[in-house]
C-alpha cells in the first residue's frame, strides 16, 4: 500500500508540475493599449494620435514616487516586456546557445595595439570574464611598468549601465579628463583624475558631452555643455582645474537651434578650436593653446551650404571643404593669419567621381581617405611631390580606415582593414619604403572559423528610376542560394552614413546556420559619393525607401530567396526605413527587426523640445513648412499604418534613449496591433536600463544580439 500511495503521489506531483509549466509557458494575450485621442492640427491637416499619453518626461521617468500617469505608462511597458518574454520563451535555449557561441569566439583577455602619444604607450585591455575595459599606459617603452588610468569594471559596479568617454590626458601627462554616464542618456558628468596620486579633483561638471580639451598650461580646460531639455550641445565653457565649476566662464554660446557646438585641439597642439555645425553648414573659431584666456577668432563666418573643417600645419590651416560646388569635397589651405574663404587655395582639387572622406597631416606626408565606386581607398602624397600612390587592396569588397595617428614626425601610417570574410587587422604601413607590418589580427576563437569557408560578393541592382544600387552579401560556401534560402537584408540610409562591408564574429552564428547576410547601400548614404546622400534626404527621401524595396524585389527575382524567407533589419534612422517598407510592401518580408526605430516622424519633428529635432531640419525638412510637412506626411511610419497584413516583427528600444525617445516605438507597436490583420508575431522588447546604444557591457550586448538572431532563426524553424 505504501508503494502504491507513493506512486500515486508522484503521479500527482508530476501532473501538478506539468500543469504549472503549461500555465507558466502559456502565451499571454498581447497588451492592448488604451486609446485616448489627441488631435494635432497644422496646415489645415488633422492627425489623431491615440497613444500620445505614453510620453513621459525625464522627471516623471526618474521620480522616486511616480504619479498615476507614470505608473500607467510603466505598467504598459512592463506588460509589453512580459509579453515578449512569454512569446519567445520557447527560444530561451536557442538564445543561450547563441550567446555562448558568440562569447566563445571572443578573446576575453584581449588588448588593443599600443598607441604612442606624447611619450607614453596607451593600451586598452580586457580581462577574462569582465564586461568593461581597463585603460592603461606605459612610459617610454612597452617594457615599462603599467599604469592603470581606469578600471571601468570597478567604476561600473552597482550600475546597470555605465559608459566612460572622452579620456584626454593633459600635455604634462599628469592629469586626465573623462566623462561618465550611468543612465544611458548621453549626459556625461565630467571629472578630472590626478595620474600621479590617483585622486580625483573634487569638482564634477554635469550635463556635458563627456569630452574636454586641455590648454597647454595643463590647468585650463574647455568643455561643452548640453541644453538640459533638448540635449543640444550649445555652450562652450572654460574651467580651471580645482575651482568651483559654478565660476566657469562661458566662452561661446551657439544661439542657432539648428546647430550644435564642440571643442578640440589641433594635432599640432598649437590651437584650441571651437566648431559649430548643422547638417549643411559649419563654422570654426580658433585660439592659440598657449593663451587660454584670450579671445577666439573666427576662421570663416558661416554661409549656408558651406561646410568646412580645419587642421593646422606650419603656417597654414588646411581645410576640408565643399567650397565652390565641391560636392565630393576637396582640400584647401589658408595662412593662419588670413583665414577668410577668399584666401583659400586648392591643395587637392575636387573630383566628381571620387568622394574625399578625410585627410591626415604628417610632417612629410598628406594622407587622403577616399571612396570610389563604393570602395575605400587610402592615398599617400609626399609634400615635396616626389611620391603619390594608393595602398593596394585586393578583395572585391572591403573596409579600411586611417587611425588617429597622433605622432606627427613619422613615416608610419596606422590603418585598419577588414572585409565581410576577413577579420579586422591593425596595420602599420611605412610610407617611405612601403613595408607593411600587421600588428594585430582579430582573433576568432572556438576553432571553427576558416576564412575560406565563406563567400562575399557585391551585386548591382537597378532601382526603379534607373540608378544602380550595390548590395554586398556574405554567406557560408555550403549555402545554396534559392527560393528557400533565409536572407537578412540590412540598411541604414541617412545622414550620409555609409555602412561598411566589415567582418563580424557574431554574424557567423547566422552564416553557419545557412543564413545570408547582406547590406543594401541605398541612397541617403555616401556609398557612391555625396550626391548619393543628397539624393536620399529632404524631398528626395523616398528614394531611400524605394531603393531598399527594389533591392528586396530583385533578390527575390534573382532567385536568391523568396518573400517567405526574406528578412529586413535596421536601427534608428534604419528603423524608420523598416517602418516605411512594412507600410509600403509588407508582403515582401517574412520578418522585420526594427531597433530603436525613428517612426513618429511628424510629431517629433514638430516638437522643438525633443532632443535633436531642430538640429535635423536640414536632414528631414522642417514640417512647419507645408512643403516638407506634406512630404513627411506621405511616409511617416506611425501616420501611415493601415489595415493590412504586417509581417512578423521584433521591435527593440531602451527607456533612456536620447536619440529616439522610447515612446515612438511604443506607440508604433500599439497602433500596429490595432490595425494588423495578420496572425504574425509582433513583439516589443524594451530595455528599462539602457538607451540608444543598448546594453553597455560587452557580454550584455551579445545577449541582445542573441535575441535578434533567435527571433529570425525561430521563424525559419532553426531550433539549434
How far apart (Å, rounded) are the C-alpha atoms in residues 573 and 287? Answer: 36
Residue 10 has pLDDT above 50, yes or no: no
Comparing C-alpha atoms, which of 271, 309, 305 is closest to residue 287?
271
Comparing C-alpha atoms, which of 125, 174, 179, 175 is closest to residue 153?
125
The β-bridge relationship of strands 436-441 and 233-240 is: unpaired
State pTM to two decimals.
0.87
**Each residue's pLDDT tens digit, 40-66:** 999 999 999 999 999 998 788 888 899
Strand order in the sheet with 134-139: 115-117, 120-125, 134-139, 146-151
Whether 493 and 547 have beta carbons less than 8 Å apart is answered as: yes
Whether 89 and 25 have beta carbons less than 8 Å apart is answered as: yes
Residue 13 has pLDDT above 60, yes or no: no
How far apart (Å, rounded) are the C-alpha atoms in residues 692 and 380? Answer: 37
The β-bridge relationship of strands 308-313 and 399-402 is: unpaired
Q: What angle do CA 66, 72, 74 make, to 5 degrees?
A: 75
* Of 224-228, 301-305, 366-370, 540-544, minimum mean pLDDT range: 224-228
Whether 439 and 426 have beta carbons less than 8 Å apart is answered as: yes
Q: What cell was used for 168?
A: 584626454
Backbone φ, ψ for residue 554 (5° rounding): -65, -40
Comparing C-alpha atoms, which of 213, 223, 189, 216 is closest to residue 203?
189
**Each residue's pLDDT tens digit, 512-565:** 999 999 999 999 999 999 999 999 999 999 999 999 999 999 999 999 999 999
Read off the pLDDT band of 633 (50, 70, 90): very high
- Residue 207 falls in which region: left (phi positive, over 0), alpha (psi -120 to 50) or beta: left
Whether 578 and 571 have beta carbons less than 8 Å apart is answered as: no
Residue pointed to by grid coordinates 527571433: 711
How far apart (Å, rounded) are the C-alpha atoms in residues 117 and 134? Answer: 18
Tell me, what's the pLDDT at 329?
97
Read off the pLDDT band of 655 (50, 70, 90): confident
Mean pLDDT of 64-90: 94
Comparing C-alpha atoms, which of 386, 320, 390 is closest to residue 350?
320
Comparing C-alpha atoms, which of 622, 576, 583, 673 is closest to residue 51?
673
Tell me, what's the pLDDT at 20?
35
What mean pLDDT is reported for the chain?
92
**Each residue's pLDDT tens digit, 229-264:** 888 899 999 999 999 999 999 999 999 988 999 999
| Residue 647 three-state SS | coil
CA end-to-end distance (rounded Å), the chain: 45
- For residue 711, list its beta bridge partners: none
Tell me, what's the pLDDT at 404?
84
Backbone φ, ψ for residue 641 (5° rounding): -65, 135
Helix H or strand E segment including 121: strand 120-125
Read off the pLDDT band of 21 (50, 70, 90): very low
How far apart (Å, rounded) are the C-alpha atoms in residues 193 and 176? Answer: 5
Question: What is the chain's alpha carbon radius of gyration, rounded to the nearest angstrom?
Answer: 27
Whether 229 and 57 have beta carbons less than 8 Å apart is answered as: no
| Residue 42 three-state SS | strand
Mean pLDDT of 152-167: 88
Whether 600 and 667 have beta carbons less than 8 Å apart is answered as: yes
Length of the chain: 720
Tell me, what's the pLDDT at 693?
52
The β-bridge relationship of strands 648-654 and 682-687 is: parallel
For the chain, domain boundaries = 38-55+67-103+453-715, 377-443
Residue 225 has pLDDT above 80, yes or no: yes
Mean pLDDT of 86-104: 95
Question: In whole angstroms, what separates CA 307 from the centre of its chain?
Answer: 22
Strand order in the sheet with 648-654: 454-462, 468-476, 516-520, 487-490, 566-571, 591-595, 648-654, 682-687
How far apart (Å, rounded) are the C-alpha atoms in residues 400 and 180? Answer: 30
How far apart (Å, rounded) are the C-alpha atoms in residues 511 and 15? Answer: 41
How far apart (Å, rounded) are the C-alpha atoms in residues 582 and 577? Answer: 9
**Domain 38-55+67-103+453-715 class, CATH top level:** alpha beta
**Each residue's pLDDT tens digit, 125-155:** 998 888 889 999 999 999 999 999 999 999 9
Annotated catalytic residues are 572, 657, 692
Whether 319 and 329 have beta carbons less than 8 Å apart is answered as: no
- For residue 251, list its beta bridge partners: none
Q: Which residues of 89-128 are buried (b: 16+ CB within 10 A; e: fewer)?
A: eebeebbebbbebbbebbeeeeebbbbbeeebbbbbebee
Residue pointed to by grid coordinates 509549466: 21
- Helices 573-584 and 542-557: crossing angle in degrees, nearest 10, is 60
**Each residue's pLDDT tens digit, 300-323:** 999 999 999 999 999 999 999 999
- For residue 274, list its beta bridge partners: 263, 285
**Each residue's pLDDT tens digit, 416-426:** 999 999 999 99
How far apart (Å, rounded) are the C-alpha atoms in residues 411 and 434? Answer: 10
Residue 440 has pLDDT above 80, yes or no: yes
Amino acid at each position: 500500500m505504501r508503494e502504491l500511495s507513493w506512486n500515486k503521489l508522484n503521479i500527482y506531483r508530476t501532473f501538478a508540475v506539468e500543469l504549472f509549466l503549461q500555465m507558466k509557458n502559456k502565451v499571454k494575450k498581447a497588451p492592448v493599449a488604451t486609446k485616448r485621442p489627441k488631435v494635432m492640427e497644422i496646415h489645415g491637416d488633422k492627425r489623431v494620435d491615440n497613444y500620445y499619453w505614453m510620453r513621459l518626461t525625464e522627471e516623471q521617468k526618474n521620480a522616486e514616487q511616480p504619479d498615476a500617469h507614470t505608473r500607467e505608462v510603466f505598467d504598459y511597458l512592463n506588460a509589453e516586456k512580459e509579453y515578449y518574454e512569454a512569446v519567445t520563451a520557447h527560444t530561451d535555449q536557442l538564445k543561450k546557445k547563441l550567446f555562448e557561441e558568440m562569447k566563445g569566439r571572443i578573446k576575453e583577455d584581449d588588448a588593443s595595439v599600443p598607441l604612442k602619444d606624447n611619450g607614453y604607450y596607451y593600451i586598452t585591455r580586457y580581462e577574462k570574464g569582465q564586461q568593461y575595459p581597463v585603460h592603461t599606459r606605459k612610459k617610454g617603452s612597452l617594457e615599462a611598468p603599467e599604469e592603470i588610468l581606469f578600471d571601468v569594471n570597478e567604476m561600473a559596479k552597482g550600475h546597470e549601465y555605465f559608459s566612460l568617454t572622452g579620456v584626454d590626458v593633459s600635455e604634462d601627462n599628469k592629469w586626465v579628463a573623462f566623462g561618465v554616464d550611468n543612465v544611458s542618456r548621453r549626459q556625461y558628468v565630467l571629472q578630472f583624475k590626478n595620474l600621479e596620486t590617483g585622486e580625483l579633483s573634487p569638482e564634477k561638471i554635469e550635463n556635458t558631452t563627456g569630452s574636454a580639451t586641455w590648454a597647454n598650461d595643463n590647468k585650463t580646460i574647455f568643455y561643452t555643455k548640453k541644453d538640459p531639455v533638448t540635449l543640444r550641445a550649445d555652450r562652450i565653457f572654460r574651467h580651471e582645474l580645482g575651482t568651483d565649476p559654478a565660476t566657469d566662464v562661458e566662452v561661446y554660446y551657439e544661439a542657432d537651434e539648428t546647430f550644435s557646438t564642440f571643442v578640440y585641439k589641433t594635432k599640432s597642439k598649437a590651437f584650441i578650436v571651437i566648431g559649430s555645425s548643422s547638417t549643411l553648414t559649419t563654422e570654426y573659431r580658433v585660439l592659440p593653446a598657449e593663451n587660454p584666456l584670450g579671445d577666439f577668432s573666427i576662421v570663416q563666418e558661416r554661409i549656408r551650404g558651406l561646410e568646412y573643417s580645419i587642421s593646422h600645419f606650419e603656417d597654414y590651416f588646411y581645410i576640408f571643404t565643399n567650397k565652390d560646388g565641391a560636392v565630393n569635397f576637396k582640400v584647401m589651405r589658408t595662412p593662419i593669419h588670413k583665414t577668410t574663404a577668399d584666401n583659400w587655395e586648392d591643395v587637392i582639387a575636387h573630383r566628381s567621381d571620387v568622394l574625399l572622406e578625410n585627410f591626415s597631416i604628417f610632417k612629410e606626408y598628406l594622407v587622403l581617405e577616399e571612396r570610389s565606386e563604393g570602395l575605400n581607398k587610402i592615398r599617400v602624397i609626399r609634400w615635396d611631390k616626389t611620391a603619390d600612390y594608393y595602398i593596394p587592396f585586393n578583395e572585391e569588397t572591403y573596409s579600411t580606415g586611417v587611425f588617429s595617428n597622433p605622432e606627427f614626425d613619422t613615416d608610419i601610417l596606422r590603418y585598419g582593414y577588414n572585409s565581410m570574410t576577413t577579420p579586422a587587422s591593425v596595420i602599420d604601413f611605412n610610407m617611405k619604403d612601403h613595408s607593411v607590418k600587421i600588428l594585430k589580427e582579430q582573433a576568432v576563437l572556438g576553432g571553427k572559423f576558416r576564412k575560406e569557408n565563406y563567400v562575399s560578393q557585391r551585386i548591382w541592382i537597378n532601382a526603379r528610376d534607373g540608378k544602380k544600387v550595390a548590395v554586398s552579401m556574405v554567406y557560408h560556401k555550403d549555402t545554396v542560394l534559392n527560393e528557400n534560402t533565409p536572407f537578412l537584408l540590412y540598411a541604414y540610409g541617412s545622414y550620409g552614413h555609409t555602412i561598411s562591408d566589415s567582418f563580424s564574429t557574431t554574424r557567423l552564428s547566422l552564416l553557419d546556420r545557412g543564413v545570408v547576410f547582406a547590406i543594401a547601400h541605398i541612397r541617403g548614404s555616401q556609398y557612391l559619393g555625396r550626391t548619393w546622400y543628397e539624393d536620399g534626404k529632404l524631398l528626395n527621401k523616398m528614394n531611400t525607401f524605394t531603393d531598399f524595396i527594389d533591392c528586396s524585389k530583385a533578390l527575390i527575382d534573382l532567385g536568391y530567396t523568396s518573400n517567405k524567407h526574406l528578412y529586413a533589419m535596421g536601427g534608428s534612422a534604419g528603423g524608420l526605413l523598416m517602418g516605411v517598407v512594412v507600410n509600403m510592401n509588407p508582403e515582401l518580408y517574412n520578418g522585420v527587426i526594427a531597433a530603436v526605430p525613428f517612426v513618429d516622424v511628424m510629431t517629433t519633428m514638430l516638437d522643438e523640445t525633443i532632443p535633436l529635432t531642430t538640429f535635423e531640419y536640414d536632414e528631414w525638412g522642417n514640417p512647419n513648412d507645408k512643403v516638407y510637412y506634406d512630404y513627411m506626411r506621405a511616409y511617416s511610419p506611425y501616420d501611415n499604418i493601415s489595415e493590412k497584413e504586417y509581417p512578423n516583427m521584433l521591435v527593440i528600444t531602451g527607456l533612456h534613449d536620447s536619440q529616439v525617445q522610447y515612446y515612438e516605438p511604443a506607440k508604433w507597436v500599439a497602433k500596429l496591433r490595432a490595425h494588423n490583420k495578420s496572425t504574425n508575431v509582433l513583439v516589443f522588447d524594451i530595455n528599462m536600463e539602457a538607451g540608444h546604444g543598448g546594453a553597455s557591457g560587452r557580454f550584455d550586448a551579445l545577449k541582445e544580439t542573441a535575441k535578434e538572431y533567435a527571433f529570425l532563426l525561430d521563424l525559419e524553424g532553426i531550433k539549434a
